[in-house]
């Protein structure tokens, strides 16, 4: 009799406790389905919670979002090619080639340029762009280690050596010298002139200005800011820094 009473009590308590757990489970399943149907977060989607019909919809959503990412051409590592049809794969390859060519034609990012994706005419254009960018770097005279002198003509080499001599003299003048304060000026676009570089991190992604402000430079533009020298004149805007001496602009965000 006692065991029967205990069994009845346990069954009753279980029945009372069940509805909230079921309700919570239903809510979690609804949240999971919303996440899955966005198609953007496959790793967060608990597919074992889905019905057969829901699984089909989720698979379609994931294919759609994956195709969007792939067709940008900028993020090959994020593109799941197993979800592409033959026609889609061809479109994606064309997109990746276009984006790669854009990167290559800047002449600045040799390590990021996939030359195996270039046609013969494109490769000639890219090599010319790289030589032009190398010459621009050499003629500043400030970045000796980044200047590939092996591809310079005799005249270009002579100009580069002269530029390096001028830069060396200029550096001597800056040693121990406190920059003269510049007058501040504001433009209608919200940019402020009168700033100059205090320090730059080795990778160029962090720039500190003379007023103590610290800026994080976009990784794509850091190759330029990494070459900036102390006391270089800067115009600071909401979303960019402009080096007025070298006529370079980098996308940047003020972090302090």
Q: Domain spans of the chain?
A: 2-72, 96-171, 185-254
Separation CA 144–CA 161 (nearest Å): 10
SS3 letters across 81-142 = HHHCCHHHHHHHHHHHHHHHHHHHHCCCCHHHCCHHHCCHHHHHHHHHHHHHHHHHHHHHCC
CA 17/CA 108 separation, integer angstroms: 65
Residue with tokens 């005279």: 141
Which one-letter DSSP state was computed for residue 25? Answer: H
CA distance 237 to 221: 15
Per-residue pLDDT of the chain (256 residues; tens, 9 = 90+): 555 554 455 455 554 444 444 445 889 999 999 999 999 999 999 999 999 999 999 999 999 999 999 999 988 989 999 999 999 999 999 999 999 999 999 888 788 899 999 999 999 999 999 999 899 889 888 778 888 999 999 999 999 999 889 888 876 765 555 555 555 655 656 788 889 998 888 888 899 998 899 999 988 888 888 888 888 889 999 899 999 887 889 999 998 8
pLDDT at res. 169? 81
Q: How many residues appear in the chain?
A: 256
Judge residue 43's burial from the number of C-beta atoms within 10 Å of its C-beta, 0-12 exposed, 13-18 middle, 19 or more buried.
exposed
Measuring CA to CA, how many Å separate 58 from each of 38, 70, 158? 8, 18, 64
Residue 53 token pair: 């019909």
| Per-residue tokens: 1 | 């009799």
- Residue in 180, 197, 179 with CA at minimum distance from that of residue 236: 197
**For residue 23, how many other CB atoms are within 10 A of its CB?**
10
Whole-model pTM: value is: 0.58
- Smallest Cα–Cα separation from 216: which of 228, 231, 201? 201
Residue pair 190/237 in contact (Cβ under 8 Å)? The answer is yes
Neighbours of 207 (CB within 10 A): 27
- The reported pLDDT for the residue numbered 108 is 80
For residues 230 and 198, the answer to whether their CB atoms sit within 8 Å is yes
Sorted by sequence, the CB contacts under 8 Å of residue 200 that are 6+ apart come out as 206, 207, 208, 225, 226, 228, 230
Which pLDDT score, from 0 to 100, does residue 170 have? 72
Rounded to whole angstroms, the Cα distance separating 210 from 179 reads: 9
Query: How many of the other CB atoms lie within 10 Å of CB of 242?
Result: 19
Task: Count the helices and strands in the chain (H runs, E runs).
Answer: 6, 7
């Amino acid at each position: 009799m006692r065991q029967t009473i205990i069994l009845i009590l346990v069954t009753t308590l279980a029945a009372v406790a069940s509805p909230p757990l079921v309700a919570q489970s239903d809510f979690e399943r609804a949240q999971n389905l919303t996440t899955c149907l966005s198609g953007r977060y496959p790793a967060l989607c608990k597919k074992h919670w889905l019905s057969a019909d829901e699984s089909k919809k989720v698979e379609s959503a994931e294919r759609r979002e994956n195709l969007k990412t792939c067709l940008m051409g900028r993020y090959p590592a994020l593109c799941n090619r197993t979800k592409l049809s033959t026609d889609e794969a061809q479109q994606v390859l064309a997109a990746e080639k276009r984006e790669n060519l854009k990167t290559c034609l800047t002449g600045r990012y040799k390590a990021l340029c996939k030359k195996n994706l270039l046609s013969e005419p494109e490769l000639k254009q890219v090599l010319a762009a790289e030589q032009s960018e190398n010459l621009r770097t050499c003629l500043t005279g400030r970045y000796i280690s980044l200047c590939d002198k092996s591809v310079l003509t005799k005249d270009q080499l002579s100009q580069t050596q002269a530029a390096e001599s001028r830069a060396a003299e200029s550096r001597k003048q800056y040693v121990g010298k406190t920059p003269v304060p510049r007058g501040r000026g504001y433009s209608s676009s919200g940019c402020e002139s009168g700033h100059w570089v205090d320090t730059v991190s080795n990778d160029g992604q962090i720039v500190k200005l003379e007023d103590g402000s610290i800026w994080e430079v976009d990784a794509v533009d850091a190759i330029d800011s990494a070459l900036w020298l102390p006391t270089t004149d800067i115009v600071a805007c909401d979303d960019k820094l402009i080096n007025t001496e070298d006529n370079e602009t980098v996308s940047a965000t003020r972090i302090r």
